[in-house]
Chains A and B, each alone.
Chain A
């Protein structure tokens, strides 16, 4: 369990640094939400507890980078991780497609709400917000949700080899 948490934490730290420090991809100043993808995948793979806790911790880290309102990303990531975990137990299968659906829904729902506030508070044109923030964010993030799902699945695999090996030896 400790090994699993350690490996996941390393994976999430990597995602955080890619998003906040390295930023290899950026269109109109918007970069993919790697951590959100990780949280969705975590919820799908490891159920709601892991999803919510990792969402909260790494959401707070993302908030530190100077987002709009401190705590907003933590809240969104935590809820996303929790919902992903809960839905994976009820309806969704444990596949990359589910991660894709959860990530897309999170961007649309929470991003949509944020867009509304942004448009009202800053008197911005809705089309500009859609074209220059929401759309690039959506299109850039989705492909990575698949990649990150497989990365976390790999970490899940290598974090539990001892038990499997022991089982094999017994047989």
Chain B
């Protein structure tokens, strides 16, 4: 039976001090090949110093249909932001 190469997601750290960021995806037979392919496909111009690959099926993503219950509760919690608090003008930096 014909089996296709699985899909992998590629994350690249562009330089030390920065986080790995999602760059795209590619197909490869295994993790080693995914790394090699990621190097050729996504870092031809010094875009990275480190690569992560993870098989796409291992990622669990939230569903946009649930965005309301997931993210809306944060909207009315303005007391989590510094501007919510009153300070006398004399206090310049806090």
- The reply to whether chain A is a binding partner of chain B is no
